Amino acid sequence: MSEVTPASNPPVAPKKMEDIVALCRRRGFIFQSSEIYGGINGFWDYGPLGTSLKRNLKNAWWNDVVERELIGPDGTAVDIVGLDSSIIMNPKTWVASGHVGGFNDPMVDCKESKSRYRADHLVVLGAVEAGARLYAYIENDDEQKAQAAKSLAKYEKRDTLDPARHVLRAFPTITAEERARTFGPNAKEVGTLTEARQFNLMFETNCGAIRDENSLAYLRPETAQGIFTNFWNVCDSTRVRVPFGIAQIGKAFRNEVTPRNFTFRSREFEQMEIEFFIRPETADEWYKWWRDWRFAWWQKIGLAGENLILREHDRDELAHYAKVGAGTSDIEYRFPFTSPGYGELEGIAHRADFDLKAHATHCGKGEKMRYFDQEKNERYFPHVIEPSAGADRGTLALLCEAYTADSSRASGVYMDFSPRMAPVKAGVFPLVNKDGLPEIAERLFKDLRKKHAVEFDEKQSIGKRYARMDEAGTPFCITIDHDGAASGTATVRHRNTQAQERVALDQIPQFVADRVGD
């Protein structure tokens, strides 16, 4: 997530997260997991519309990455094959990958409120002078931020804060002495926040009947390692040759210290990852190509506006495996809760030969596991460019981008999904439930349904049916009225403009197919 320093330009995203969350709940996009029992922090369920939206996103990724022709930087087709590896793997995998030793977040406990925070998510507000009181809050939490500012002003008996004296600092940068005079979020006493301790994010489980250290296993924290450990199997069982990629969509689990911002930071989420294996000397060219293609892809599926950015990492931000690489960049989206900053949707990293070498070493076969390049007649560990995206963050970005308040319509809002992403492509309605209109509408509905996700609705007034479809983000509403029944036509209402046009009934399947893509 982007930094804590207040930016000079004012927020540009007027959408309110609580409105988006409310619509998601009301219309069945996203629910709290096990809501009837009060939910469980960091876990979410997708309702009927949300499931379709997320599936459309994953299908678009799979089609565009694995199935369709993709032309690479040298003008030839890029070779990518699919994989579906298991969630629980031999625990040695996670020793080799570095997750057992190093997949940690710095964690801070509040002794008073018993809350737990990620140290790098906390910021501290207060005067710079020695002995001054300091107030910690979770970055981007507007309520906590306002409370901290209010408490500080009250303590110093002032109406407003003084930007020259009252500064914001990242919690990990303050000293132990400063921590002792800091109020934690929601704490009544000072000095209740502990020193940051490292906390491993992997969920543990046991395999088999006996629960001891020999049966210890982990839920995978990324899908990538299933790809690396299968690299040799894929090479042996298919005709792939470097350069080629292996793609996988699947669940990943991280015991996040502070899950928050709706589905953005969850404990169970889905990743869409590609490990693309290349000759080391081509890393620069492939890295740039993947970075640019992935950015264009997110734009193509509906994040075309100024809320999407591509951010190249600074050298000191790079992960251990990427230090010597061609680079790392993030594709970031300005969510209402990160605005004016951005949150990561996808990372593109040159992982060098870190993972293949690590697995070759840990499984005991070492250099024997090097890839044999027939064309060049040489052995080496391929380098890897990894575009790693989150399906839940992608879905959340699509929801935030689509949410469009419009007081001129009954629903007060419509969801501006691209037709390819829209959960429902068209609604089919008889204007009234008589005079043969329902029969014509139902025939058209059945015809469209052979190829597209469409809905038939004959309940309530036509205005209410349009409103329901606007909230679902359905691009077209097709209504059979009396004129249409007489002339073999229907009205097609366009979601965003609400403009209507009359289209011949036998042309409608092609009309829809031309506009929704696939």
Q: Which residues bind ligand GAP (CB under 6 A)?
A: 222, 224, 254, 256, 265-266, 269, 271, 273, 344-347, 388-390, 392-393
Report yes or no: 220 and 120 within 8 Å, Cβ to Cβ.
Answer: no
Nearer to ligand GAP, 387 or 430 (CB): 387
CB within 8 Å of 213: residues ≥ 6 apart: none
CB within 8 Å of 407: residues ≥ 6 apart: none
Is-cis flag, bond preceding 14, omega within 30?
A: no
- CB of residue 380 to ligand GAP, shortest distance in Å: 22
- CB of residue 273 to ligand GAP, shortest distance in Å: 6
Nearer to ligand GAP, 169 or 393 (CB): 393
Nearer to ligand GAP, 355 or 455 (CB): 355
- CB of residue 315 to ligand GAP, shortest distance in Å: 17
Nearer to ligand GAP, 153 or 201 (CB): 201
Is-cis flag, bond preceding 340, omega within 30?
A: yes
Report yes or no: 389 and 273 within 8 Å, Cβ to Cβ.
Answer: yes
Report yes or no: 248 and 198 within 8 Å, Cβ to Cβ.
Answer: no
Amino acid at 219: L
- CB of residue 297 to ligand GAP, shortest distance in Å: 14
Q: Can you list the alpha helix ranges (DSSP code H) found in 211-259?
A: 224-229, 231-237
- CB of residue 332 to ligand GAP, shortest distance in Å: 9
- CB of residue 12 to ligand GAP, shortest distance in Å: 22
Report yes or no: 385 and 353 within 8 Å, Cβ to Cβ.
Answer: no
- CB of residue 185 to ligand GAP, shortest distance in Å: 20
Using CB positions, name the residue nearest to ligand GAP: 390
- CB of residue 433 to ligand GAP, shortest distance in Å: 45
Nearer to ligand GAP, 301 or 424 (CB): 301
Rounded distance, CA 57 to CA 78, Å?
A: 21
Rounded distance, CA 428 to CA 443, Å?
A: 10
Tell me how many degrees the CA angle 255-259-264 measures, rounded to the nearest 5: 115
Nearer to ligand GAP, 256 or 455 (CB): 256
DSSP letters, 25-50, are HHTTSEEETTGGGT--TT-EEE-HHH
- Ranges of beta strands (E only) in 139-267 are 166-170, 182-183, 197-200, 204-206, 216-218, 244-253
Nearer to ligand GAP, 118 or 493 (CB): 118
Nearer to ligand GAP, 313 or 515 (CB): 313
Rounded distance, CA 137 to CA 201, Å?
A: 22
Nearer to ligand GAP, 109 or 256 (CB): 256
- CB of residue 410 to ligand GAP, shortest distance in Å: 34
Backbone angle region of 135, left / alpha / beta, with phi > 0 → left and psi within -120 to 50 → alpha = beta
Nearer to ligand GAP, 125 or 384 (CB): 384
- CB of residue 391 to ligand GAP, shortest distance in Å: 8
Location of structure tokens 């890029």: 78
Residue 372 vs residues 368, 383, 384: alpha-carbon distances, Å: 10, 13, 16
- CB of residue 393 to ligand GAP, shortest distance in Å: 4
Rounded distance, CA 333 to CA 389, Å?
A: 12
Encoded tokens for 324: 């010597």
Nearer to ligand GAP, 133 or 313 (CB): 313
